[in-house]
Amino acid sequence: MKLTALMSLLGLLLWTPWLQAQQMSSTQAESVDPEAIIKFRIQRFEEVEKTFKALRFEVVVNRSQDRYASYKMANTLADQVQPLLEAFRLRTDQQRFAGKTRARSEIWVHRDEFEEQMIDFIVRTERIAELLRAGNMSEAANLINVTAKGCKRCHRMFRSRW
């Protein structure tokens, strides 16, 4: 009985600073500068584009059989894509950030549609990495092509021409 009480006290002591840290980081997230978020996502998309092009070149154009090198690239891509959904949580209308962002307000008006496409994108990049790890090169190549269509589709709906 005594031991249990001691254990729960110990638990509380260990948890309290952790909980405070969690609360702090979520308050900080709310106060993040929208321009910094815009910069982050554009820069991240540029990195994604580079990795995606290199991966597509290896697997689709070159029909490379080096599954380890392709897997590593796909894994990098999956990691790079991962924070992109969160990067659109804060609404950044073009009227307010003219010339800084190509993100259309439709993203926040048709939130479900945007999220669905972004989640498809994230899930596909993970699946490409899995296929490559398993050495399933031709299925990976097909999924890379499907993913490329997804880039265009989302841009057509949610990215302005400037």
Query: What residues are paired with 37 via a beta bridge?
Result: none
Shortest CB 32 distance to ligand HEC, Å: 14
Q: Which is nearer to ligand HEC, 38 or 132 (CB)?
A: 38
**H helices present in 1-158, as ranges:** 2-30, 34-56, 67-81, 106-109, 111-133, 137-158
CB of 93 vs ligand HEC, minimal distance in Å: 11
Nearer to ligand HEC, 10 or 29 (CB): 29
What is the spatial distance between Cα 146 and Cα 117, in angstroms, rounded to a whole number?
12
Burial of 17 (0-12, 13-18, 19+ CB in 10 A): exposed
d(CA 75, CA 112): 27
Q: Minimum distance between the CB of residue 107 and ligand HEC, rounded to whole angstroms? A: 6
Provide, rounded to whole angstroms, the least separation between the CB of residue 101 and ligand HEC: 4
Nearest Cα neighbor of 61 from 6, 137, 112 is 137
d(CA 71, CA 36): 31
Closest distance between ligand HEC and the C-beta of residue 151, in Å?
3
Q: Which of residues 12 and 149 has its CB atom nearest to ligand HEC in the complex?
A: 149
The site for ligand HEC (CB under 6 A) is made up of 38, 41-42, 45-46, 48-49, 52, 101-103, 114, 117-118, 121, 147, 150-151, 154-155, 158-159
Phi, psi (degrees; rounded to nearest 5) at 138: -75, -35
Toward ligand HEC, which CB reaches closer, 133 or 159? 159
Nearer residue to ligand HEC within complex by CB, 6 or 35? 35
